[in-house]
């Protein structure tokens, strides 16, 4: 039997779950990007600190790729995995930056070109699919920055789906979820825009 929760019950649940997945994911995405920057800098002497500019957005895009690499038949060390992810992040976010040349050179030196190419294709597929999903919600994604602004939502779609299947008020639920995400930091869009986006996601999933 399915039970719908009302907005006051949802508010209590979200307030009580200080370590909820959605709140944790925002912190985890930024922390993941920071780990990439720090490890690549320490091990390979490459400055990729600029990835932190889009901390949660970068994390939202490359965390699923990290799972792809971990789950695939790739024999990479942790350092090599971070190097590959840094290269992908640079291509997806800073295609024209000089630092990319140095990263690609290091990837070649490590013999990771095939792995990098496969992971990069997955990244492009993920970005394309996500862009298509946003377009289906009638959310404008005509520019690179539009996609970047929403990338942090990628790892939490399933959590929003759970809320959507259990809520009786999509609009109120969207407001509460947006409040949690904005409060946890890292969102690159305003609370008002985020509410509208999450409301559309909930309504589509429902």
Q: Is residue 139 part of a domain?
A: yes
Q: Which helix (H) or strand (E) holds 19?
A: none
The pLDDT score that the predictor gives to residue 78 is 92
Distance in angstroms (rounded) separating the CA atoms of residues 93 and 120: 13
Helix, coil or strand: residue 167: strand
Q: Residue 182 burial (CB < 10 Å; 0-12/13-18/19+)? A: middle
Distance in angstroms (rounded) separating the CA atoms of residues 11 and 138: 28
Q: Is residue 2 part of a domain?
A: no
Q: Which domain holds residue 76?
A: 7-205
The pLDDT score that the predictor gives to residue 80 is 94
List, for the chain, all residue ranges whose pLDDT scores fall below the cut of 70.
1-23, 95-97, 141-146, 164, 166-168, 170, 183-188, 205-206
Structural domains in the chain (count): 1
Backbone angles phi, psi at 4, to 5 degrees: -90, 135
Q: Which CA distances in Å does 116 have to 32, 54, 108, 174, 175?
A: 19, 21, 9, 37, 39
The pLDDT score that the predictor gives to residue 85 is 95
Q: Is residue 20 part of a domain?
A: yes
Q: Is residue 153 part of a domain?
A: yes
The pLDDT score that the predictor gives to residue 20 is 54
pTM tops 0.75, yes or no: no
| pLDDT, tens digit (0-9, with 9 covering 90-100), for 18-73 | 445 566 777 788 899 999 999 999 999 998 888 887 788 888 888 888 988 988 78
Q: Is residue 142 part of a domain?
A: yes
Q: Which CA distances in Å does 86 have to 34, 51, 54, 61, 111?
A: 11, 8, 13, 11, 15
Q: Is residue 116 part of a domain?
A: yes
């Amino acid at each position: 039997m399915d039970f719908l929760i009302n907005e006051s019950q949802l508010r209590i649940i979200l307030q009580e779950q200080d370590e909820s997945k959605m709140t944790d994911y925002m912190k985890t995405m930024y922390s993941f990007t920071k780990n990439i920057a720090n490890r690549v800098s320490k091990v390979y002497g490459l400055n990729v600190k600029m990835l932190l500019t889009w901390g949660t957005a970068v994390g939202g895009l490359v965390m699923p790729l990290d799972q792809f690499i971990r789950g695939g038949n790739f024999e990479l060390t942790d350092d090599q995995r971070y190097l590959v992810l840094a290269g992908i992040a640079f291509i997806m976010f800073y295609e024209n930056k000089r630092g990319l040349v140095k990263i690609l050179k290091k990837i070649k030196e490590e013999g990771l070109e095939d792995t990098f190419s496969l992971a990069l294709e997955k990244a492009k597929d993920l970005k394309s699919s996500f862009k298509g999903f946003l377009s289906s919600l009638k959310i404008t994604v005509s520019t690179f920055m539009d996609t970047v602004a929403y990338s942090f939502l990628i790892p939490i779609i399933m959590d929003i789906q759970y809320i959507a299947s259990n809520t009786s008020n999509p609009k109120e639920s969207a407001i509460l979820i947006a409040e949690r995400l904005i409060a946890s930091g890292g969102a690159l869009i305003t609370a008002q825009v985020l509410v509208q986006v999450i409301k559309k996601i909930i309504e589509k999933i429902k």
